[in-house]
């Protein structure tokens, strides 16, 4: 058969309790981690739904194991209510929901959501040595500004570019004006966070930038994972569309099994020369556990969870995506549809 190619807001909307399917008849087909978790929390399926044991599971390598974009959209419509999608899209509201659900997220220095907040904000007084400023409703990394160090009243980016207090104020003002919101929204909020320092076990792979792990989950079941590893060509960003590396991570073991960059298969990092294949992502069970908790915390049944590993605090949620892409299948050379069927999803 062919291979697979290609913070704080004043109030939150009340979140309805979401029914979580916990199939118990497929425990031998999922990872040991997931099997233990499902065994501990197994319950009945909603009334009227057939047992997941009667579902047809596509075979590995078959074309029908692939989750296409139309089917993905149907799954999103089925499992992700509009209010939860909106909450996930707003990084500030998402943090509140995740923290309330016992999920560890990156820290917060300040949230600037109005012109009144801007008038009270003094970068020299309020910002630490290093930080990240991002739009609450941004996407694809747009509008993110990073400072790695401070000298006097100025900061410096990884490239060595100086950032003056005026530069910082102008960037924050542009965020609040909605310049990076990606839609017709008239306003946004600037979320200021401490700069994450990557776990040294990961930094040996990459000369600059912050790698992250994307886990696709169906309810509380992690289905598929990849690590996104920055390169010099990606300007230190973990963005596959900007020439970062996509590395398939085995969902059971946390070991990298395959790596690609813009369609080219790799075994080593092109800049550091570090061997990628066989690298084991640190604290993998914690990564999976955090991914599993996000669904109930934020109300999404199908989601992409982005996790970073901090040198001091370990795994932390960077953000949650209500419309995760399907490129992860190309990286893993496996289909999400089959993984979803093994987790109990029916495709009629």
Q: Which runs of consecutive H residues, i.e. helices, occur in the chain?
A: 32-41, 69-79, 82-89, 91-100, 115-120, 123-126, 165-176, 200-203, 284-298, 327-332, 336-342
For residues 66 and 4, what is the distance between their CA atoms, to the nearest angstrom? Answer: 8
| Residue 316 bridge partners (DSSP) | 308
> Which uninterrupted H or E stretch holds 162?
strand 162-163
Q: Tell me which residue of 34, 27, 23 sits closest to 293, measured CA to CA.
A: 34
DSSP label at residue 82? H
For residues 292 and 121, what is the distance between their CA atoms, to the nearest angstrom? Answer: 37
For residues 347 and 74, what is the distance between their CA atoms, to the nearest angstrom? Answer: 11
Question: Can you spell out the DSSP letters for 95-111?
Answer: HHHHHHTT--B---SEE
For residues 174 and 161, what is the distance between their CA atoms, to the nearest angstrom? Answer: 19
For residues 52 and 141, what is the distance between their CA atoms, to the nearest angstrom? Answer: 38
Rg of the chain in Å (alpha carbons): 21
The per-residue pLDDT string of the chain (348 residues; one tens digit each, 9 = 90 and over) reads 333 333 333 322 333 433 333 232 222 333 333 334 333 333 322 333 333 444 566 666 565 689 999 999 999 999 999 999 999 988 889 999 999 999 999 999 999 999 999 999 999 999 999 999 999 887 766 788 888 899 999 999 877 889 999 999 999 999 999 888 766 556 789 999 998 888 999 988 987 788 999 999 999 999 999 999 988 888 777 888 888 999 999 999 999 999 999 989 999 999 999 999 999 999 999 999 999 999 999 999 999 999 999 998 999 999 999 999 999 999 999 999 999 999 999 887
Burial class (CB in 10 A: 0-12, 13-18, 19+), 342: buried
Tokens of 306: 């982005």
Query: For the chain, which domains are there?
Result: 32-43+50-106+197-348 (3.30.470.20), 110-194 (no CATH)
């Amino acid at each position: 058969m062919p291979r697979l190619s290609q913070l704080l807001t004043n109030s939150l909307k009340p979140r309805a309790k979401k029914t979580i399917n916990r199939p118990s008849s497929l425990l031998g087909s999922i990872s040991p981690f997931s099997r233990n978790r499902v065994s501990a929390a197994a319950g009945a399926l909603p009334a009227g739904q057939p047992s997941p044991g009667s579902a047809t599971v596509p075979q590995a390598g078959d074309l029908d194991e692939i989750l296409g974009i139309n089917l993905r959209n149907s799954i999103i419509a089925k499992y992700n209510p509009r209010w939860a999608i909106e909450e996930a899209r707003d990084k500030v509201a998402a943090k509140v929901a995740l923290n309330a659900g016992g999920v560890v997220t990156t820290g917060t220095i300040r949230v600037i959501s109005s012109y009144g907040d801007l008038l009270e904000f003094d970068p020299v007084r309020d910002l630490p040595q290093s930080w990240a400023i991002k739009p609450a409703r941004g996407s694809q990394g747009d509008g993110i500004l990073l400072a790695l160090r401070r000298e006097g009243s100025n900061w410096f980016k990884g490239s060595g570019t100086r950032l003056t207090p005026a530069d910082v104020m102008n960037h924050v003002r542009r965020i609040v004006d909605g310049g990076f919101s990606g839609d017709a929204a008239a306003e946004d909020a600037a979320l200021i966070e401490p700069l994450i320092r990557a776990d040294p076990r990961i930094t040996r792979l990459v000369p600059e930038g912050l790698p992250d792990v994307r886990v696709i989950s169906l309810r509380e079941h992690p289905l598929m994972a990849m690590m996104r590893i920055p390169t010099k060509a990606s300007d230190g960003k973990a963005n596959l569309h900007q020439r970062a590396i996509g590395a398939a991570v085995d969902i059971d073991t946390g070991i990298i099994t395959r790596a690609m960059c813009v369609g080219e298969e790799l075994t080593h990092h092109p800049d550091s020369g570090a061997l990628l294949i066989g690298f084991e992502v640190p604290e993998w069970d914690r990564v999976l556990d955090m991914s599993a908790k996000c669904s109930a915390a934020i109300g999404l049944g199908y989601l992409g969870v982005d996790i970073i590993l901090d040198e001091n605090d370990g795994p932390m949620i960077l953000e949650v995506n209500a419309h995760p892409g399907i490129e992860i299948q190309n990286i893993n050379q496996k289909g999400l549809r089959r993984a979803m069927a093994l987790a109990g999803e029916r495709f009629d």
